[in-house]
Amino acid sequence: MQLNLNKLHLKNIKIIMSNSYFKVIRAGINTTFQDKGRNNLYHIGIPFSGAMDNRNYLLANKLVGNKLDIPVIEFAYQGPLLKFYGNKINIVITGDVIFKLIQKGKEINGNCYESYQLGNEDEINILSTNKSVYGYLAISGNFDLKLQWGSCSINTKANIGSNEGKKLENDQKIKISKINENISKTKISYLNSKIENIRIIRGTNFDYFSDEGKKIFLEKEFTVSKLSDRMGMRLEGPKIENIINTNIKSEGLLKGVIQVPADGNPIIMLSDHGTIGGYPKIAVVASVDYDRLVQISSGSKIKFKEIELSDAETLFKLYQMETQNLLSQI
């Protein structure tokens, strides 16, 4: 992680009501609204959802002068092509993303973590993520969205959230309810570090697996499947042998739990995961590695490294402190 900060002025922000909007020329592959997610609803079967990469979500909001819990546009692989109609608005993209701005007919190569001001009929073309999965587009203001269970986050599997729980579609109009004015241009240099060795702690069913199965899990490489999505990351590789029972009584799940079904291929629960599951849980991803885990693209290789619970807690606290330090410098 590297951070260099150019000047930023977020004081004296003027908030105005707005009739501005974006028109979706191209929606992209999996483009949704996401925010901090839904908490304390697992008991009624409502998953957490929210931004997959929380640090990049927080940075996006902070860089355009928003509160940290404001909904943003999350996209996977190819993002949207949007045309802005209105007076002016600041935007920023975070992640490792290739994009262009079209202003008065002129194309400009965009830089992540740098804010840009859009004028009437300017366009932003998010071409693709770069050896990663998710990116974020924040505006200096608020999209006009409806809350559901305290969040605008969209879960397309359950049709939960704003936009009737659906992905953005071509020709859709994205209304903007408020715009923050008097925000100066912002630019930081931030490097999204890559990760291959995912730190885990043992799951509640670790001993369901043979000694050879445990050895395979902790020592061999796995490939991220093309079938992965916001609900779960499917892995392909050597089979992990279960010697007790491949199906168990359904139990509660959490983000980062690694289940192993009967075929022996692990599945990592991600932000839109179901709230219960009946496959044995061999491990749980340490929270410190979750943001980087979700950015591992299909076809990539990963390995697991076991750590103790106390170490996982300490590492996550340090990661949270590092994130807060980044935000405090903006």
Residues 6+ apart with CB under 8 A from 325: none
Using alpha carbons only, how large is the chain's radius of gyration in Å? 21
Over range 265-290, report the average pLDDT.
96
| Higher-scoring residue by pLDDT: 103, 3 | 103
> In DSSP terms, which residues pair with 155 in a beta bridge?
160
**Band of the pLDDT at 254, cuts 50, 70, 90?**
very high
Among 195, 217, 191, 192, smallest CA distance to 296 is for 195
Q: DSSP for 149-198? A: TTB---BTTTTBSTGGG----TT-EEEEEEEEES----BEEE-----SEE
pLDDT by residue (tens digit) across 86-104?
989 999 999 999 999 999 9
Q: Is the pLDDT of residue 151 over 70?
A: yes
CB 20 within 8 A of CB 86: yes
Q: Is the pLDDT of residue 124 over 90?
A: yes
Superfamily per CATH, domain 197-328: Cyclophilin-like (2.40.100.10)
The reported pLDDT for the residue numbered 173 is 98
Computed over every residue of the chain, the mean pLDDT equals 93
Q: Is the pLDDT of residue 31 over 70?
A: yes
The reported pLDDT for the residue numbered 182 is 67
User: Residue for token digits 């992540």?
Assistant: 112
Over range 244-273, report the average pLDDT.
94
User: Residues of 37-64 as b/e, b for ≥16 C-beta within 10 angstroms?
Assistant: bbeebeeeebbbbbbbbbbbbbbbbbbb
Over range 26-39, report the average pLDDT.
96
Among 100, 260, 129, smallest CA distance to 192 is for 129
Percent of the chain whose predicted confidence (pLDDT) is above 90: 83
User: Residue for token digits 């168990």?
Assistant: 248
pLDDT by residue (tens digit) across 218-229?
999 999 999 999
pTM greater than 0.85 (yes/no): yes
pLDDT by residue (tens digit) across 196-209?
899 999 999 999 99
| Higher-scoring residue by pLDDT: 169, 3 | 169
The reported pLDDT for the residue numbered 17 is 59
The domain spans of the chain are 3-190, 197-328
Question: Looking only at Cα atoms, what is the longest distance across the chain?
Answer: 65
H/E stretch holding 3 reads strand 3-5
The reported pLDDT for the residue numbered 2 is 46
* Cα–Cα–Cα angle for 168, 187, 69, rounded to 5 degrees: 45
The reported pLDDT for the residue numbered 270 is 98
Over range 69-86, report the average pLDDT.
98
Encoded tokens for 21? 């909007």
Over range 155-175, report the average pLDDT.
97
